[in-house]
Amino acid sequence: MSTSQELETGSSIPHTTSDEESVDSRLLPGPGLAMDATHMSHVQMLEQQLARIMEERDAAEIAHAHERNRMQTQLASFRKQAEKDLEELKTRQEEIEAGAPSLDEQVSQAKEQLHDLPFSDAAYVAAKQRPVERRSLREELTIVLHERLQKHVEEAERLKRERDTAREALTRATDELQLVEREAQRAASNHAVEMRAVEQEAAAVAARNERLEAELADALLQKELLQAKGAMYDEVKATADRLQTAADADARERTLADTRTTVLSEERERLAGALREKEHTVELLTMDKAYLGNQAKLLGEQVAKLEVMCDQRQEKVRELKRARQELYDKLLATREDTAAAHEQRLQAEIARIEARARGDLEQIRREAEEVREREMRALRDMRDAAALEAERAQAKVREGTAVYDELLLRYRELQKTADAAQADLRAEVKVKAFEVDRAQLLKEETTSQMKQLKLQNEMLQAKVKVLTENYRALDTELNKQLGEARNELALVRERLAHYELLEKELDEAVVSAAEGYKDEPSVRWLEQLGTSVPIAVRRRIQQSLHLAKRCAALEKEVDRLKALGGTQEREIQSLGEQVEDYRARLQHTEQPRDFLVEALHKCEKDLRAANREKDCRQVDLERARAESADLRAKLGALQADLRRILEERNALEGFKHLLREQQGTAQLRERLIADLSRANWGKGRKDDGAGRTANSTKQLVYEGEGKARDVDGVKVDLAGWFKRVASRPAAA
């Protein structure tokens, strides 16, 4: 019982509904670490309880083995004592048989009286009220059998109570197991929600990458436009360098975003693997718990059964001793009565025998010998029959015990099956009730959405009328503008032919002036010509790009020559050091002890090589320190981004939930925005005074409550619409 209670206590430990979920436990502490730690602590607690239960089970097995050995020893001693008592009884029985040959009749009469013994309470009370010395053998047997039957009835009642207690414990254990399974399912659902959030964050990062690419393309376009606006090459080059720097920064940010996406994907896979491992661990722990619970129950039942058997055997031994003592007393009393009656009868017989002849005395002796032998044979037969009766009774008791155990096991199996079926039915009823509630909530939500759609439909019909009128007016204005544009196009084509001729001549003049360029006054006439002649931006951009390519090629050639000059200078310096070395060796060679000079020269050479290696290592160390500082900065930026993402995740989840609830109205809203954009979309192109054009930003303004928001160049007042959506009833 203590083992089952500890199992129930271990299974009733509260579980946390959070799941082990974190973005990167080495970079950012988050709620996933707390959830993981809680789950790990719970698993450790279960493992400790399992270890304690195993230790208690081993201790119980050892104690049970000791108790079984002790009981076997006691049974052996009891068996020896019983055999000894039986030998004594046999000896006394033989003495009694030798001294009392008339017991055969009394035993037969006692057998006849024992055929219909009463077992009722009234007979027991009546026999119990009689004094002990006046009770007959039948009354004594009635009392003994009634008391034994009462003990068996009490034992049966106790077993029933234990059965009810075990059934209640099994029900509690089943409820606890269902609770653990529900907690595991809830943890799995929470983990799935977190994984979906991580995937959505990855999608957001991918969208951000696309947006950065679009911004990069816009920046490149802006770069070309700014280059076209420049009049001097230096300004164009500075602007290009600046834009190139911005483009490199955007590329680095894109690379960083790709790295973040890869890290998040790896983290998601790692978390999925961890979840599968945890689920497998929970299943193993559940199976171990069920197996240990069954083993503990079986051991408890075996211990209780052994205790009952031990008590029964002890009680049987005490009853046998008491019956032996009572039988011995009764036999002594019967022997005394029989001896007195026999003496009286012998005296009378002696008187009669003395009156008769010696022949009658011999006949009486022969008859007495035959009677004695017949009584002895009858007593032996009774003894054998009693032994057989006892053996048959023991076999029946063993068979009844085996049948009782089998029926008890079948009853428990049926009870387990019925409890499992009842738990399944309860779960199905709960699921059906939940589905009914969800259907009711969906019905209410559908009704409210229908009402709102009707109102929106009426509003859209009014807007369609207004948009139709606007469309007609815009169509009329468009036809008018097309006529004007055709007229202007004819004039522009005539100017274009003359303009292209001027551009061609101007290109030739610029190239020829650049080849003979010496000072500014010599080409000032070309600048005056450029101000008087209209210039095309596209052609000027092409010419500037051609000149920039030539300039870049010349700069690369200059850099290559500088690098080559630095290499040659280092070689010259190395050769100078070798010359100095050779001169020193020449001076030392003329002196004695050339081997010392050679060793000194070798040491000096090794020293110079070590100094050069030290300088190289110092440069590598500085480079490594710079890279480490850069990596620390990137790591700090990554941690800050992850913190910001996790802080904004709750708001994003709320917004996603709101959008998920309003999926029915999303298409209607998009259609409304499209109609409004077609109605109020403004277009126009403005000339910047130098012949260069720029596209104006198209915007759509929808007036409503609150402030307007700019979404990809479209300004829409969403505050009032979000307030109306938030006031609607949420789905189940």
d(CA 502, CA 699): 40
Averaged over 220-232, what is the pLDDT?
A: 65
Q: Is the pLDDT of residue 16 over 50?
A: no
Amino acid residing at 676: L
Query: Residues 6 or more apart from 50 whose CB is under 8 A from it?
Result: 10, 285, 288, 289, 292
- DSSP letter (8 states) at residue 591: S
Q: Mean pLDDT throughout 487-501? A: 76
End-to-end CA distance of the chain: 45
Range ranked top by mean pLDDT from 228-237, 344-353, 395-404: 395-404
Output DSSP code: residue 544.
H
- Residue 717 banded pLDDT, cuts 50, 70, 90: very low
Top pLDDT among 120 and 374 is at: 374
Residues 642 and 261 sit within 8 Å (Cβ to Cβ): no
* Nearby residues of 34 by Cβ (< 8 Å), 6 or more positions away: 18
CB 50 within 8 A of CB 288: yes
Q: Read off the pLDDT of residues 106-149 as tens digits, 9 standing for 90 and up.
A: 666 666 665 565 556 777 788 778 777 777 767 777 777 778 77
Confidence of residue 702 (pLDDT cuts 50, 70, 90): very low
Q: Is 685 helix (H, G, I), strand (E, B) or coil?
A: strand
Amino acid letter at 311? D
Most confident of 133-147, 418-432, 514-528: 418-432
**pLDDT given at position 290:** 74
Please tell me the predicted confidence (pLDDT) of residue 439: 81
Place of tokens 């994003």: 652
pLDDT at 316 over 70: yes
- What is the predicted pLDDT for the residue at 206? 74
For residues 605 and 610, what is the distance between their CA atoms, to the nearest angstrom? 9
Mean pLDDT value of segment 246-268: 77
Q: Residue 445 pLDDT more than 80?
A: yes
**How far is Cα 569 from Cα 577, in angstroms, rounded to an integer?**
12
- Amino acid 554: pLDDT: 73
The model's pLDDT over 81-116, given as tens digits with 9 standing for 90+, comes to 877 877 887 777 677 666 554 556 666 666 666 556
Q: Is 663 exposed, middle or buried (0-12, 13-18, 19+ CB in 10 A)?
A: exposed
| pLDDT band at 4; cut points 50, 70, 90 | very low
Predicted local confidence at residue 725, as pLDDT = 44
Q: Could you tell me which residues come within 8 angstroms of residue 441 by beta carbon, excluding any fewer than 6 positions away?
A: 729, 731, 732
pLDDT at 15 over 80: no
Between residues 225 and 57, the one the model is more confident about: 57
Most confident of 331-335, 376-380, 508-512: 376-380
Tell me: pLDDT of 507 over 80.
no
Tokens of 111: 């057998």
pLDDT at site 562: 73
Token output for 88: 């004594």
* Cβ neighbours around 640 below 10 Å, total: 11
Stretch 528-535: mean pLDDT, rounded? 52
Counting Cα atoms < 13 Å in the Cβ hemisphere of 85 gives 16
> What percentage of the chain has pLDDT greater than the value 70?
61
**Encoding tokens for residue 456?**
């929106």
Q: Which residue has the tokens 């199992």?
A: 7
Cα separation, 556 vs 636, whole angstroms: 37
The lowest-confidence range among 213-227, 322-336, 516-530, 569-583 is 516-530
Instruction: Say what the pLDDT of residue 662 is.
Output: 57
* Nearest residue to 473 (alpha-carbon basis) of 680, 671, 673: 680
pLDDT of residue 237: 66
- Residue 462 is predicted with a pLDDT of 79
Provide the 3-class DSSP secondary structure of residue 727.
coil
Q: Which of the two residues, 690 and 591, has the higher pLDDT score?
A: 591
Q: How many whole angstroms separate alpha carbon 612 and alpha carbon 138?
A: 124
CB–CB of 223/232 below 8 Å? no
Helix (H) or strand (E) holding 8: helix 2-11
pLDDT of residue 707: 38
Q: Cβ-count burial of 349 within 10 angstroms (0-12 exposed, 13-18 middle, 19+ buried)?
A: middle
Does position 513 have pLDDT exceeding 50, yes or no?
yes
Mention every residue, 6+ apart, whose C-beta is less than 8 A from residue 655. none
d(Cα 292, Cα 301) in Å, to the nearest integer?
14
Burial class of 71 by CB neighbour count within 10 A (0 to 12, 13 to 18, 19+):
middle
Query: Residue 723: its pLDDT value, please?
Result: 46
Using CA atoms, how far apart are residues 96 and 89, in angstroms rounded to an integer?
10
6 vs 61 pLDDT, higher one: 61
Position 23 confidence tier, pLDDT thresholds 50, 70, 90: very low
Which run of H or of E encompasses 529?
A: helix 524-532
Q: Between 679 and 19, where is the model more confident? A: 679
pLDDT mean across residues, the chain = 69
Q: Which of 166-170, 238-242, 480-484, 724-728 has the lowest mean pLDDT?
A: 724-728
* H/E segment holding residue 357: none
Please determine, for residue 453, whether its predicted confidence score (pLDDT) is greater than 70: yes
Name the one residue in this structure whose structure tokens are 């079986």.
Answer: 298
Average pLDDT over residues 652-656: 63
Model confidence at 309, pLDDT cuts 50, 70, 90, reads: confident
Report d(CA 145, CA 136) in Å as an integer.
14
pLDDT on residue 364: 64
* pLDDT attached to residue 681: 45
Q: Which of the residue ranges 329-338, 389-398, 421-430, 513-522 would you say has the lowest mean pLDDT?
A: 513-522
Burial class (CB in 10 A: 0-12, 13-18, 19+), 30: middle
24 pLDDT tier (thresholds 50, 70, 90): very low
pLDDT of residue 254: 75
| pLDDT of 226 higher than 70 | no
Q: What is the dihedral of CA 367, 370, 375, 381, to 10 degrees?
A: -160
The alpha carbon of residue 381 and the mean position of all alpha carbons in its chain are separated, in whole angstroms, by 76
Q: What is the pLDDT of residue 100?
A: 52
Counting beta carbons within 10 angstroms of the beta carbon of residue 146, is it exposed (0 to 12), middle (13 to 18) or buried (19 or more)? Answer: buried
Q: Are 448 and 659 in contact (CB under 8 A)?
A: no
Q: What is the pLDDT of residue 674?
A: 60
pLDDT value for 230: 56
